[in-house]
Structure 1
Amino acid sequence: MSTPDDDMVVVSPLMLEASSVRRGLGGGCVVRAGPHARRSGRVDAALRKHPRASVAVAGVAGALVDDLRPGDVVVADEVRSAQGTHHCRSAPLLASALRKQGLRVRIGPIVETDHVVWQPEGARLAADGAIAVDMESARLLDLIGSRPAAVVRSVVDTPSRSLLHPATVPGGIAALSSLRAMGPALHRWAAATGDRKVLLAGPRSFCAGVERAVEIVERLLRRHDPPIYVRKQIVHNSRVVGELEQRGAVFVDELDEVPENATVVFSAHGVSPAVRDAAKQRNLDVVDATCPLVSKVHGEARRFARDGDTVFLIGHAGHEEVEGTLGEAPERTVLVQSADEVADIEVENPERVSYLMQTTLALDEAEGVAKALRERFPALRGPGSEDICYATTNRQDAVRVVARESDVVLVAGSANSSNSRRLVEVAQREGAEAHLVDNVHEIDIDWLAGARTVGLSAGASAPTVLVDEIVDALSGLGAVDVSERTTATETVNFSLPKEVRHR
């Protein structure tokens, strides 16, 4: 069994810094490298003594931007010097652990210089994107080599409160206090380091319906002056929505927030006839981004209702797709969320009943509800073809395979994404520890301690860049062997609506 000394070596330049870090760690291997890393021999000796240890460089730094204040913590995602740039890829994971300690944390570039930086030099460095400056980190990373490494610095002075400012003393006290508080997070980071396998579930990420919906908004933004209004989130992913907002999309909850005669996009989840009528009354120029597979379910709801059926909609209350489908025939549609609800259902004519499904459900769970309905209502009719989306099924099949081989499964997707949440549930039913993360910053580093095989997937509304960023962060904890587990090849493509086809 390893000891803390085996797991991590912490390198601090000055005696006060090393003392503060050591107190926060409760002991361990803390090496004082000296200013400008002049005592590099000590570092070499410690690294030889602990050949498997990860290394954290911890000390104080000067802020280059005024929105940092003394005591704030900077986790370097890269360290720049005249000799080149070191990338610190696990920065998002360490930063999240530090935030859990109650520290104010920023991720960004640190630049190493051989002298104290004053203005206007600091402003020039900040203009290149650096947020803090020190005099040792790059040199120390050179010594550390290829083993897992992190650089974390607490702010002692800022552009408006320089080292010669009367507030330097309290700033120094705040910085040293933050260094002490880092200890538990540094231990957790070290416990998560090590080589591992990464298994990518394939298919993952965008489905054809999401690609179509996003492209509709992108084309409108390219060809028209913003704003372009979108009712609800175009797809359930905060990254996608945020990037479209930056380009001029305006997301609204209801149509009364859209000016008359403006262009509005209906989201991929579909809308009820009442919403379409409201758009006509306001003379809105509607571009419909409803997924064709959702439109199919709407058509089936209308058909069953015209036949006089009571329509059971298997789905989750409050989901926008469910609200739209319920709106097709509200007087004849009953929402069923679980098999437990079936026994209490009463209908006008048990011989005239049918069922539909929300497209993003877990197939095994939805089939359990459908089975209960068939047992209660033997005359039950179903849709002409499966309602659950091909992409939902494919992603669940793939994550099921990955989960069987993984110590932990991470699913990239937003909390309001039904299909992403279902992927987590499918993985958990296979016996794997599984978590939904909106982005790499939401990963709890404790999940990775001892996890030598990590499974990765992404919901149908989550962009592939989220998975790429997670793999990149994991590579900062040690070597990663990335392989794919592909269970299906997708070739589905949906045509764009005529309103944007030739714009």
Structure 2
Amino acid sequence: MQVILANPRGFCAGVERAIAIVERALQKFGAPIYVRHEVVHNKFVCDDLRAKGAVFIEELNEVPSGSTVIFSAHGVSKAVRDEAETRGLKVFDATCPLVTKVHVEVGKMRHQAREVVMIGHKGHPEVEGTMGQSKDGMYLVETADDVRRLKVNSPDQLSFVTQTTLSVDDASVVIDALRAQFPEVQGPKKDDICYATQNRQDAVKALTEQCDMLIVVGSPNSSNSRRLKEVALARGVDAYLVDGPEEISADWLLGKSRVGVTAGASAPEILVERVVDRVKLLTGASVEQLAGVEEGVSFPLPKELLAG
């Protein structure tokens, strides 16, 4: 048996930045540091940060006055920012810059009196943060059927944005439905789906040409990780999403000859290594790595966390 590693896989620049912000804040200010929502959607990462003194909360009323709070990589609504300012909380913003880009787009669209359709998954924190950039004039759709049921006030003044971690293929279907339903709808100047999401989905597509099974390392609440599994399944390849090696069943590997392994953008490489070790232990597989896109992207940390 062969194990073939996707490339690129695992951490993206936004995730690396978010984790570094929490770790630097803990080093500089000491525990506890409060983080609104899981800073990234990965159990291993969040458990590690908890052990270092991070406290994950869902609402700011759980943060004691005078404390430091970090906004997760998924971004927050304007109401959350206003609440933090009103309470005088010290804030570090770990929102991924590519999510911030979408927030800025929404602000510009609403300033131009355009209504905005967001394509995304209801209840996901990134979607809640983006929808919360405006008190009105926004609509959320997830499927082409949602688009067909959509009623807007100004179809001639309509724009759309997307969640950054969607399946590229799924988003295209919904965008096509929007353009069919609302011919004058305008999209962002640049695709909202982030480079890392697209690169990892493209790598899975390449992997499925060579593999008869795919293991995706990532947590169940990670949108981009779930999309990688769905991309493989849509191409007729058995695929499994695992948080770690202990979840791998030997039965999955029976009759398989080439097993692909990848990781969502919030999953660390150490988990990939442990998953590969588990497959090797069960099968004696050799390991090779696909060539892929070199991303070379990095995002700066807040200046206050760089000093001292």
How far off its partner does 1:475 sit?
A: 1.6
SS of 1:286's equivalent in the other structure is strand
How far off its partner does 1:499 sit?
A: 2.5
- Partners of 1:475 and 1:315 in 2: how far apart? 37
Offset from partner CA, 1:357-416 (integer Å, 9 cap, x none): 000000010011001101111111110111000000000000111122112100000000
Counterpart amino acid of residue 494 in structure 1: F
Structure 2 residue aligned with 1:486: 291
SS of 1:411's equivalent in the other structure is strand
Contact 1:404 1:431 in 2 (8 A): no
Structure 2 residue aligned with 1:155: none
- Partners of 2:282 and 2:155 in 1: how far apart? 60
Matches within 5 A, 1:362-381: 362-381=167-186
Is 1:297 paired with 2:107? no
Counterpart amino acid of residue 99 in structure 2: V
SS of 1:393's equivalent in the other structure is helix
Contact 1:205 1:460 in 2 (8 A): yes
How far off its partner does 1:306 sit?
A: 1.1
SS of 1:476's equivalent in the other structure is helix
How far off its partner does 1:298 sit?
A: 0.3
How far off its partner does 1:486 sit?
A: 2.7
Counterpart amino acid of residue 146 in structure 2: E
Is 1:270 paired with 2:98? no
Contact 2:280 2:286 in 1 (8 A): no
Q: Which structure exhibits the higher relative contact order, with contacts defined as CA atoms closer than 8 Å and separated by 6 or more residues?
A: 2
- Partners of 1:355 and 1:381 in 2: how far apart? 6
- Partners of 1:453 and 1:297 in 2: how far apart? 39
Structure 1 residue aligned with 2:230: 425
- Partners of 2:285 and 2:149 in 1: how far apart? 52
Structure 2 residue aligned with 1:447: 252
Structure 1 residue aligned with 2:189: 384
Is 1:335 paired with 2:140? yes
More strand by share: 1
Structure 1 residue aligned with 2:124: 319
Counterpart amino acid of residue 463 in structure 1: P
Is 1:307 paired with 2:112? yes
Is 1:415 paired with 2:223? no
- Partners of 2:152 and 2:57 in 1: how far apart? 37
How far off its partner does 1:477 sit?
A: 2.1
- Partners of 2:231 and 2:30 in 1: how far apart? 43
Contact 1:458 1:467 in 2 (8 A): yes
SS of 1:206's equivalent in the other structure is coil
Is 1:201 paired with 2:3? no
Structure 2 residue aligned with 1:228: 33
How far off its partner does 1:445 sit?
A: 2.0
Counterpart amino acid of residue 431 in structure 1: G
Contact 2:250 2:282 in 1 (8 A): no
> Please, what TM-score do these two structures have when normalized by structure 1?
0.60
Is 1:468 paired with 2:273? yes
Superposition CA RMSD, Å: 0.9
- Partners of 1:398 and 1:207 in 2: how far apart? 14
- Partners of 2:136 and 2:283 in 1: how far apart? 58
Offset from partner CA, 1:288-333 (integer Å, 9 cap, x none): 0000000000000111111111101000000000000000014111
How far off its partner does 1:214 sit?
A: 0.3
The one of 9, 15, 18 aligned to 1:210: 15
SS of 1:434's equivalent in the other structure is strand
Matches within 5 A, 1:345-356: 345-356=150-161
Q: How many residues align?
A: 308
Structure 2 residue aligned with 1:21: none
How far off its partner does 1:453 sit?
A: 0.9
In structure 2, stretches of 5+ residues that fail to align are none
Structure 2 residue aligned with 1:104: none
> Please, what TM-score do these two structures have when normalized by structure 2?
0.98
SS of 2:283's equivalent in the other structure is coil
In structure 1, stretches of 5+ residues that fail to align are 1-195
Contact 2:13 2:299 in 1 (8 A): yes
SS of 2:3's equivalent in the other structure is strand
- Partners of 1:279 and 1:298 in 2: how far apart? 18
- Partners of 2:153 and 2:245 in 1: how far apart? 51
